[in-house]
């Protein structure tokens, strides 16, 4: 599979993690497992069998199976959670399932889908127009900055104190926007952070896991398999596992 990724412009750092392109050149369909990674993806996809379709994906809470058709190409935006409020205007109730969007969503044309940078430029222009002059709440900016920087390893109390936002208010916000508590979302971020070590065959806890049993339980809860099985990743079966580049 071909995979490319670029980062957003500074004005979008609070809302966008990355823009990426994924293309399957295998010549055959692939049975894949999509893993939770804490992101909300807007995907423009097409294949030899299907015309362009645009989907806003919901936040994955557990592993799910899918078929990656031969010849499929995807261009996508991976959002950080503040984008749900400030760009997409979505809540848990409106994004419990993937949402089908118009093929020309945000003015994207087939020309924009010939090159990842062109795609990023087009959707960045659309997002900046939506944002206008509004600024993110500083409590939320600090909270999410710490969440993503520490990969979900800080305690709820520490996050609350550092962001000057009460734990009760934070959980109310998280439940309204994604239907999960802050603690549950931190678990997804820690799970994602383990991908690199598992890919390298390190099967013991290195992040914020109490012990080996806790590590195995957490990995199995979100992936459906043990760390050992996930580390094998035969034929790139676990899609996020193979797509996230090493740093």
For residue 242, pLDDT over 60 is answered with no
Query: Mean of the per-residue pLDDT values for the chain?
Result: 86
Q: pTM value?
A: 0.86
83 is written with which tokens? Answer: 């984008």
Res 246: pLDDT: 42
Q: Which domains does the chain have, with CATH numbers?
A: 2-131 (2.60.40), 138-243 (1.10.10.60)
Res 230: pLDDT: 74
pLDDT band at 244 (very low <50, low <70, confident <90, very high): very low
Range from 98-102, 118-122, 186-190 carrying the lowest mean pLDDT: 186-190
| Ramachandran sector of residue 13 (left: φ over 0; alpha: ψ -120 to 50; beta: rest) | alpha
- pLDDT tens digit string along 12-34? 999 999 999 988 877 787 777 88
SS3 130: helix
C-alpha dist (Å) from residue 163 to 10, 141, 158, 225 = 21, 8, 8, 35
For residue 203, pLDDT over 70 is answered with no
> Taken in order 131, 56, 79, 152, is the CA torsion positive or negative?
positive
Q: Per-residue pLDDT averaged across 138-161, rounded? A: 95
Res 238: pLDDT: 57
Res 204: pLDDT: 67
Phi, psi dihedral angles at 8 (to 5 degrees): -75, 170
Task: Looking at mean pLDDT, say which of 17-31, 49-63, 133-147, 214-228 comes out highest.
Answer: 133-147
Q: Per-residue pLDDT averaged across 35-61, rounded? A: 89
Between 208 and 155, the more confident residue is: 155
- Rounded CA-CA distance 70/85 in Å is 35
Res 110: pLDDT: 87
Evaluate whether 143 touches 189 at the Cβ level (below 8 Å): no
pLDDT band at 205 (very low <50, low <70, confident <90, very high): low
SS3 170: helix
């Amino acid at each position: 599979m071909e995979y490319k990724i670029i980062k957003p412009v500074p004005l979008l750092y609070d809302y966008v993690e990355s823009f990426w392109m994924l293309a399957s050149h295998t010549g055959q369909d692939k049975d894949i497992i999509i893993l939770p990674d804490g992101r909300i993806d807007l995907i423009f996809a097409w294949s030899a069998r299907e015309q362009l379709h645009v989907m806003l994906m919901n936040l994955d809470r557990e592993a799910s199976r899918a078929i990656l058709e031969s010849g499929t190409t995807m261009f996508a935006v991976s959002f950080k959670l503040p984008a749900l409020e400030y760009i997409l205007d979505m809540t848990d109730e409106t994004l419990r399932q993937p949402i089908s969007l118009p093929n020309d969503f945000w003015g994207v044309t087939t020309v924009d889908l010939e090159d990842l940078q062109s795609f990023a430029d087009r959707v960045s222009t659309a997002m900046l127009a939506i944002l206008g002059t509004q600024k993110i709440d500083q409590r939320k900016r600090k909270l999410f900055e710490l969440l993503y920087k520490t990969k979900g390893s800080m305690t709820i109390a520490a996050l609350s104190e550092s962001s000057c936002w009460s734990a009760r208010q934070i959980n109310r916000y998280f439940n309204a926007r994604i239907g999960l508590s802050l603690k549950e979302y931190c678990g997804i971020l820690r799970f994602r952070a383990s991908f690199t070590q598992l890919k390298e065959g390190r099967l013991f806890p290195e992040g914020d896991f109490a012990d080996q049993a806790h590590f195995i339980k957490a990995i199995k809860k979100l992936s459906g398999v043990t760390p050992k099985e996930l580390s094998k990743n035969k034929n790139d079966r676990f899609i996020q596992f193979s797509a996230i580049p090493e740093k």
